[in-house]
């Protein structure tokens, strides 16, 4: 008896001028991940359903490619590929802002490669948040969207509900990152092995990647999650989170834990520690500066929380994972 596998939809935004090598390359990479999943007998894992979203003649977006057609579309991630030409012009960016905001509001992970970040930035979803892009477009991104914190030293920046990547060919590592997030590290490793692709990050995984649950369907809680990711969970309180959700505190606590699997305090710790990990990996700031930067007034309390989340002291984490230039 053949078991019908669940599917998990990953959409690719095919805008005018998009690099089609990336579009088809990501599609093929995810197909290989599905093949590895079948060969390894990972029946409990969903198959990755890849859809291509293009502008329709009558307006709006429509799917013109679907690896597992089944009617209803609910992307868990939307990938904005790079372009071979230049940074997208404002008129092009504006055409997709509403769709990106809607996908994000519904819990989709937004993912960009190279200049794809301009589309997310134009939607306002990166205001006050960090992002990376190709070094050749970093100044343009910063000038056109001054509220975005551009961090070009990072090849890939996973900020929970938005992932941005720098290089024109970063779609390979980004695709493997998504395979790891949705199907697990083993399938990501086997996919990379089959494709003879060397992962950017070798050895033990750094602890800076927090992958929050975004597909639970509770709009009030998702609204708070996006707020926490955007603010870095600094200076937040239970009262403030419940108010942002429009819920009574006890109701908020119950629904937040049911949706995310974490208490609000635990979730905030994950967000803050994730930011701290990135600073330890890519900056020379001392531990006290990093503690203050992510919202802890007491460096001792920060060290305890950091060890609880990562299993390492901040200084040991830096020794193990810091970029060579730090």
pLDDT of residue 76: 95
pLDDT tens for residues 230-260? 889 988 999 999 999 999 999 999 999 999 9
What does the alpha-carbon distance between residue 110 and residue 166 come to, in Å, rounded to a whole number? Answer: 15
pLDDT of residue 153: 78
3-state secondary structure the chain: CCCCCCEEEEEEECCCCECHHHHHHHHHHHHHHHHHHHHCCCCCCCEEEEEEEEECCCCCEEEEEECCCCCCCCCCEEEECCECCCCCCHHHHHHHHHHHHHHHHCCCEEEEEHHHHHHHHHCCCCCCCEECCCHHHHHHHHHHCCCCEECCCCCEEECCCEEEECCCCCHHHHHHHHHHHHHCHHHHHHHHHHHCCCCCCCCCCCCCCCCCCCCCCCHHHHHHHHHHHHHCCCCCCHHHHHHHHCCCHHHHHHHHHHHHCCCHHHHHHHHHHHHHHHHHHHCCCCHHHHHHHCCCCCHHHHHHHHHHHHCCCHHHHHHHHCCCCC
What does the alpha-carbon distance between residue 81 and residue 12 come to, in Å, rounded to a whole number? Answer: 7
Mind listing the domains of the chain with CATH numbers?
A: 7-195 (3.40.50.880), 219-321 (1.10.10.60)
Residues of the chain with pLDDT under 50: 1-2, 202-207, 326
What does the alpha-carbon distance between residue 139 and residue 159 come to, in Å, rounded to a whole number? Answer: 21
pLDDT of residue 209: 64
pLDDT of residue 4: 63
Q: What's the burial of 86, exposed, middle or buried (CB within 10 Å: 0-12/13-18/19+)? A: exposed
Q: Are 53 and 12 in contact (CB under 8 A)?
A: yes
pLDDT of residue 204: 41
Put residue 295 in one of left, alpha, beta given phi > 0 → left and psi -120 to 50 → alpha.
Answer: left
Q: Identify the bridge partners of residue 62 per DSSP, sorted by sequence position.
A: 54
């Amino acid at each position: 008896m053949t078991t019908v596998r669940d599917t998990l939809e990953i959409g690719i935004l095919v805008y005018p001028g998009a690099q089609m090598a990336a579009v088809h390359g990501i599609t093929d990479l995810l197909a290989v991940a599905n093949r590895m999943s079948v060969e390894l007998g990972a029946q409990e894992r969903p198959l990755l359903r890849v859809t291509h979203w293009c502008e329709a003649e009558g307006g709006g977006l429509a799917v013109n490619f679907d690896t597992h057609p089944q009617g209803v579309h609910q992307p868990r991630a939307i990938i904005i590929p790079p372009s071979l030409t230049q940074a997208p012009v404002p008129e092009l960016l504006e055409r997709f802002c509403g769709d990106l905001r809607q996908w994000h509001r519904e819990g989709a992970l937004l993912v960009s490669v190279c200049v794809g970040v301009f589309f997310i930035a134009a939607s306002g979803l990166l205001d006050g948040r960090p992002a990376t892009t190709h070094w050749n477009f970093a100044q343009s991104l910063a000038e056109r969207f001054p509220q975005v914190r551009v961090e070009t030293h990072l090849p890939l920046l996973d900020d929970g509900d938005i992932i941005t990547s720098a290089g024109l060919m970063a779609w390979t590592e980004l695709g493997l990152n998504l395979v790891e997030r949705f199907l697990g590290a083993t399938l990501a490793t086997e996919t990379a092995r089959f494709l003879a692709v060397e992962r950017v990050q070798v050895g033990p995984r750094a602890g800076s990647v927090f992958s929050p649950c975004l597909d639970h369907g509770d709009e009030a809680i998702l609204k708070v999650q996006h707020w926490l990711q955007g603010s870095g969970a600094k200076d937040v309180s239970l009262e403030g989170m419940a108010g942002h959700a429009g819920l009574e505190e006890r109701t908020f606590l119950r629904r937040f834990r049911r949706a995310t699997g974490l208490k609000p305090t635990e979730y905030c710790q994950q967000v803050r520690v994730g930011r701290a990990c990135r600073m330890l990996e890519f900056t020379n700031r001392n531990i006290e500066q990093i503690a203050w930067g992510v919202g802890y007034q007491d460096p001792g309390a920060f060290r305890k929380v950091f060890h609880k989340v990562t299993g390492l002291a901040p200084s040991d984490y830096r020794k193990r994972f810091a970029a060579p230039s730090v």
